Each structure stands twice: as C-alpha cells, then as structure tokens.
Amino acid sequence: MSKPATETLSVVAKRTSKKSGGSKEGKGGDSPSQLIDARINELSDWRGETLARVRILIKQADPEVVEEWKWRGVPVWSHGGIICTGETYKNVVKMTFAKGASLEDPSGLFNSSLEGNTRRAIDFHEGGKIDEKALKALIRAAVALNTSVRATAGSVRSQKKPKSA
C-alpha cells in the first residue's frame, strides 16, 4: 500500500530543504522536473491533474521553459526570469505570475492577488475549466516581458558613454 500524500510530501520537502537556492537538484540527485513529477503523482486527485495540465500548457506555450524547484517545494517555471509558480493547496491550485501586474489580461484569467503592484495569480478550483488558449497567450506574454526587460537592461548597460577628460 502506498504512503499517504502528506507523508510523502514531507519526505520530498525534507529532501529539498538543505539546498541553498532550491533550483538545481534535490538531495539524492532528483532534478526539479522529477520533483514536480513526484508532486503531481502524490496529489493523486484533481489538484494533481490540474497541476499536470498547467505544466503541459506552459511547456507548449514555451518549449524553452526551465523547470525549477524552489522555496522548499514550489514548482517554478522560468525563461529570462520567473514566469510563474504552481502552488497547490487544499481547495485550489494557484498559478502565480511573478510580473503579472505588468501583463495584459484581456481574457480576465487573473482572479487572485489582484491588489499588489507586481504579482497576479489564477486560482483553479475543482471542476473548473482552463481557458487553454488564453493561458498560453498569458504565458507567452510573460516570457516576452522577461526577455524584453533583460534585452533592454543589457543594451542600456552596454551603451555607457566614456567619461570626458
């Protein structure tokens, strides 16, 4: 018989808690992708299915996305900076966009963390439908924002004028 999800989650959390940044490999060589796989399998309910579907959509929207495992057990997807996180709670799967307040959301997907100046989140509830087309567009917009900010910052730095004598 398999272990209860809470027991297994605590083992995964312990495995990752000794890492400094938490984004590389877990103790025992588990990659972030393997840890995310384990989280999805441990949930074994609608939350695992939702997290798995969100993960697929992220990878479809951005094939170059980098999966990370941070903050003692939070799946993170990055490209030129953090795109979003995939947190799971008892009644919700929360997808938090690091720079969500700077993104256009014409489909109105953001339904949580609306009051801040930086982040925005989408709470998925049991039985809820995911607007896959709109979510992929939001992910692509987040990647575009991350990469444009980096490109702009890099070009500004490289254009330093020499000091006059």
CATH number at residue 110: 3.90.1150.200
pLDDT in tens, 107-132: 999 999 999 899 999 999 999 999 99
pTM summary value: 0.75
Q: Is residue 91 part of a domain?
A: yes
Distance CA 131, CA 125 (A): 13
Nearest to 122 by CA among 88, 91, 93: 93
Q: Is residue 162 part of a domain?
A: no
Q: Is residue 87 part of a domain?
A: yes
Q: Is residue 57 part of a domain?
A: yes
Which range marks the domain in which residue 123 is found? 5-146
pLDDT in tens, 128-162: 999 999 999 999 999 999 999 665 655 544 455 55
Distance CA 43, CA 21 (A): 24
Q: Is residue 22 part of a domain?
A: yes
Total structural domains within the chain = 1
pLDDT at res. 162: 53
Q: Is residue 156 part of a domain?
A: no
Distance CA 120, CA 133 (A): 18
pLDDT in tens, 58-92: 999 999 999 999 988 999 999 999 999 999 999 99
